[in-house]
Amino acid sequence: MVAVTLIALGVITQTGVLIAMYLLSRRISEKAERLMNDTRGPLESIAGNLKTVSNELAETGKIARAQAEHIQETIIESRQSIRGHIGEVRGVVMDTATDARRMILRPLREYAAIGVGIAEGIRKFFFGRKQKETQIDMEQKRDHPAA
């Protein structure tokens, strides 16, 4: 009989422990449900904010890329324009240099020819006969004829 009583007490104790565990788990699940409900609102708000920020960052990236492409196109156009202007300036400078060379060298050649004529006249006057011209003198006359 003692054994039956001990078994009955053990069963009652186990039942009490199981009931206590059930009540404790119910209380924990209710708290967890309230916690989930309390955090659901702020989490949805945070998720919405993150989605908005993400969309705005994507739009900002697209705008920045478009601006970078526009700047690159502007730089390319400027470079081409500058190269064209440099070519035009180079042509004008070369034309001006050529004109200046013509204007300066022509009179110099004329004066050099006059000087050579006067020197030849003086030589002829003082020495009486014409000296043989060297090959170098002939080449110089061919390279720089009187204008």
Q: Averaged over 2-17, what is the pLDDT?
A: 91
Instruction: Return the residue matching tokens 């170098």.
Output: 136
Nearest-angstrom CA–CA distance, 100 and 21: 112
pLDDT digits (tens, 9 = 90+) for 51-81: 999 999 999 999 999 999 999 999 999 999 9
Nearest-angstrom CA–CA distance, 24 and 7: 25
Instruction: Report the Cα 15 to chain-centroid distance in Å.
Output: 79
pTM over 0.75, yes/no: no
Check pLDDT > 80 for residue 130: no
Residue-range domain boundaries for the chain = 2-130
